[in-house]
Structure 1
Amino acid sequence: MDQPVKSGKIPELMMGVKNRAALSACKDHADGVYFSVDRFSLRARACDITLDDLNSFVSDIKEQGMNAYLALNTVIYPDDLPELDEVIDVVASSDVDAVIAWDPAVITKAVDAGLRVHISTQANVSNWQTVNFYASLGASRVVLARELSLEQIKEIRKNTDTELEVFIHGAMCQAISGRCYLSAYVLGKSGNCGECSQPCRWGWKLVGEDGSEVDLEGKYLLSARDLCMIEHIPELIDAGVDAFKVEGRLRDTRYTSTVSRCYREALDAYGEGTYTKEKAAGWKEEMASVFNRGFSTGFYFGVPGPDGMYIEQDMNISVVKRQAVGVVTNYYRKQSAAEVKLLESGIEVGDEIIIEGKNTYLEQKVVEIRNDDGSVQRAEPGEEVGLAVEGKVRENDRVYRLDVPDPAK
């Protein structure tokens, strides 16, 4: 079905990034990125960007013509307040476009420092009066709760002029807007302080008082499918939100590259009047080739039932897997070549590969392999070979092969 008549502006597309490699992967597709430094983030493991590196990283974002949003969205305890002051001072002297927060301590300190504030989905904002309350505190944008329906979002839009942001893709949490205590209780690692160990993704079983196990035809009983709204871009734009947000700062860089490209193409197609359900289905299939737990539309069209869960399989269900191959030992810029030590696996001409590091992301086909005997079709583990590369790589970058199952087998 062709798209309806366009009635709204194209929202800002925001991607989560954890390092410069992820930034490089989405620089041609996203309008803005959100990220964290090494403290006060709900993704504590995404710590490649330090406070000392903040200005440099933001400069890299600005050079790509994108907006920079810093997440400071953990719970703030009394002992954290002095360190929070230090962080706000550094951020206030940077070119960060806004901080993403929900704790009133962060909000007030950021506003007092002259920073723009976007209210995190952690605040569970679910009505227009709450949106306007945060606006009265100085917030310029509110990230709405992921438990809202599309109709509820439309109602909020009618009653506030504050910018609204919604999630359109990525992991869904079992707890209301991510305010989960399961990881803290089970493992002593608080999800509200950025250390969630995701026990909701574990295999569980239901055991009766007599010790008998109940067969539930699956064991990943708490694992929700990923949100995917690529097939509903027109409806989302028509709702009047200002920004679309993609979750996944801790996922691999190919996820960032593929998902950002697909949503960019979808938004551009809508703007050009060429968006169709058939195209959307194609983009969805592409995104199914990167890390995902199966797809659903979350709460947008009603409370999800059993079809919103994926109980049969653990974590990533994509059939395309990354096989570690080796490590870059040298880069020759003039020759557009890399020297690679093959460690885990062999490689051959025609393979799809990824070369990735904290500052590198390159996805290409192997077009040439050279060893001491010259050009070869295949090289085996243990060999050190030269590979033609299509961009700059760095020593110690990792090389992966994309293994795609043959549908005929």
Structure 2
Amino acid sequence: MKTTSTKKPEVLAPAGTLEKLKTAIHYGADAVYIGGNRYGLRSRAGNFTYEEMHEGVDFAKKHDAKVYVAANMVTHEGDEVGAGEFFRTLRDIGIHAVIVSDPALIEICAMEAPGLPIHLSTQASATNYETLNFWQQEGLERVVLAREVGMDELKQIRQHTSVEIEAFIHGAMCISYSGRCTLSNHMSDRDANRGGCSQSCRWKYDLFEMPQPGEHKTVLAGEPVEDFSMSAVDMSMIRHIPDLVENGVDSLKIEGRMKSIHYVSTVSNVYRQAIDAYCNDPDNYAFKQEWEDELWKVAQRELAAGFYYGMPTENEQLFGERRKIPAYAFIGQVLAYDEKTQIATIQQRNNFGVGDEVEFYGPNFTHVQQNIRQLWDENDTPIDRAPQAMMVVKMKVNAAVRPYDMMRKRK
């Protein structure tokens, strides 16, 4: 294989909370993106205070990682008030870049917080190299491509621009073009483009006739109802890492600031393995089915390649029964491990107990399976189960584990 680009791309993971930030970096992310208390599109995510940003940046720097802040909302009149101070504060904290879509916020950031790099958000629908060149001339260092860009288009874009390219590789797909949707505004009075999306496209729908005011009669009575009629399957590009690297993508982005640490750790871990395997030895690279199997342990929907290899069909929409369901539940996180006693201290995240078959996994794609034989509470009192949320328990493990390792079991 003739390599056109040997540069190893950045693994960029979502971090809705400080815990998720640290988890993502431990599991191989080169950078994370977070939200502040204003200007983002995830008002329900665990957005960061300035103090938490300080701690997150300090942690990231110790691990040679970066922190970006999403400020990608569409601004209405008055929304821009205070933006200059917001961006200056992020710059002074040490945030590595902000991700912005609105030209007004881009100009405010450039004028009032010089020195803070700006990345163009996917919400801006960048789909051609002329657009990327325009934003580069405006001083932006990176452009996040629209999810609608195909692989052939990506190749052409890379050949005609030198600005950094960021592209989504895993996570939820929006049914509307580049996320610009008003379903949520009309159905729940929550502005999707100002951080309040209620994901109306994921709701279950039916078709009704209304013969009388207030009367609803389903037209599909007796017929199988196909749920989620406007809902797309999730994206997964784990099988196509070589195409992304060879076409010069600088940053590979994982969606999901509202997802769990189970999701963040697993997905970051898998893509770290695949990207390293290809970039370290592209001529002998081989896709491993275990990577995709691992992603299915945290998948919320079915998986497809989005728009990269053609227009999505009905097979990339969610209709009727799911064709595949995740088989694992996240149940705990390792806090400490004693090598002499082989006892692990674990924080419970879901009910488990003696007799359960569990799996530990950690950074560098380590996996250990075992049956729980004995369990103690934090006072060393024997117990049969750990039913209380976030309780601390102890158990003997068959192999060494480390803090930040995760524990899960089959559902």
Q: How does 1:6-405 map to 2 (within 5 A)?
A: 6-8=3-5, 9-28=7-26, 29-112=28-111, 113-114=113-114, 115-207=116-208, 211-214=217-220, 215=223, 218-273=226-281, 279-313=287-321, 317-322=325-330, 345=351, 347-348=353-354, 351-352=357-358, 368-370=374-376, 376=382, 378-379=384-385, 381=387, 386-388=393-395, 402-405=408-411
When residues 31 and 311 of structure 1 are mapped into structure 2, their CA distance, relative to the original with a 3 A threshold, is same
Give the superposition deviation at 1:102: 0.9
CA contact (8 A) 2:358 2:410 kept: no
Q: How high is the TM-score relative to the length of structure 1? A: 0.83
CA contact (8 A) 1:146 1:167 kept: yes
Q: How high is the TM-score relative to the length of structure 2? A: 0.82
Q: What is the one-letter code of the residue matched to 2:250?
A: D
CA contact (8 A) 2:353 2:385 kept: yes
When residues 380 and 293 of structure 1 are mapped into structure 2, their CA distance, relative to the original with a 3 A threshold, is closer
Aligned equivalents of 2:349, 2:357: Cα separation in 1: 16
When residues 213 and 234 of structure 1 are mapped into structure 2, their CA distance, relative to the original with a 3 A threshold, is same
**3-state SS of paired residue (1:131):** helix
CA contact (8 A) 1:10 1:267 kept: yes
Give the superposition deviation at 1:47: 2.9
When residues 338 and 30 of structure 1 are mapped into structure 2, their CA distance, relative to the original with a 3 A threshold, is closer
When residues 213 and 34 of structure 1 are mapped into structure 2, their CA distance, relative to the original with a 3 A threshold, is same
Aligned equivalents of 1:262, 1:372: Cα separation in 2: 32
Aligned equivalents of 2:30, 2:407: Cα separation in 1: 29
Determine the structure 1 residue equivalent to 2:363: none
When residues 315 and 165 of structure 1 are mapped into structure 2, their CA distance, relative to the original with a 3 A threshold, is farther
CA contact (8 A) 1:220 1:314 kept: no
Aligned equivalents of 1:278, 1:348: Cα separation in 2: 39
Aligned equivalents of 2:378, 2:245: Cα separation in 1: 57
5+ residue gaps in structure 1? 355-362, 394-399
Q: What is the one-letter code of the residue matched to 1:133?
A: F
Give the superposition deviation at 1:259: 0.5
Give the superposition deviation at 1:177: 0.7
**3-state SS of paired residue (1:27):** helix
Give the superposition deviation at 1:266: 0.4
Aligned equivalents of 2:143, 2:240: Cα separation in 1: 21
CA contact (8 A) 2:206 2:218 kept: no
CA contact (8 A) 1:201 1:314 kept: no
Aligned equivalents of 2:153, 2:298: Cα separation in 1: 31
CA contact (8 A) 2:12 2:33 kept: yes
Give the superposition deviation at 1:170: 0.3
Aligned-residue Cα RMSD (Å) equals 3.6
Deviations 1:142-199 (A, max 9, x none): 0011011100111111111111111000000011111111111100111111111111
Deviates more, 1:74-83 or 1:64-73: 74-83
CA contact (8 A) 1:230 1:280 kept: no
Q: What is the one-letter code of the residue matched to 2:239?
A: E
Aligned equivalents of 1:229, 1:131: Cα separation in 2: 23
Give the superposition deviation at 1:23: 2.0
**3-state SS of paired residue (2:140):** coil
